[in-house]
Amino acid sequence: MRIQSADDVLTLFIHLGYLGYDFSRKEAFIPNSEITTEFITSIRNAGWQEVVTAIRNSEEFFG
C-alpha cells in the first residue's frame, strides 16, 4: 500500500483499530480512553497545544 493522502492515513488507522468510524455521521473517532491518552501525550509533546485544548473541551462537553 502506498500512502498518497490524508484519507489513506485515516483509512489505515481505522483498519488497524487506532480509529473508529461512524458511518451515519461519516466521522472518524478515537475509540477508547487508552488511545485518546496516548494521542494527547504525543501531540502535547509535539507542541500542538490547540489540539490538546480542543480534545479536553470536547471531553468535558460530551462527558
As beta bridge partners, residue 27 has 22
Question: Tens of pLDDT along 1-49?
Answer: 677 888 888 888 899 888 999 999 988 888 998 888 888 888 777 777 7
What confidence score (pLDDT) does residue 23 get?
Answer: 93
Where is 21: in which H helix or E strand? strand 20-22
Query: Does residue 61 or residue 50 have the better pLDDT?
Result: 50
* Residue 63 confidence (pLDDT) above 70: no
Query: Does residue 14 or residue 62 have the better pLDDT?
Result: 14
What confidence score (pLDDT) does residue 1 get?
Answer: 62
What confidence score (pLDDT) does residue 62 get?
Answer: 57
Domain boundaries of the chain, sorted by first residue: 1-31, 32-63
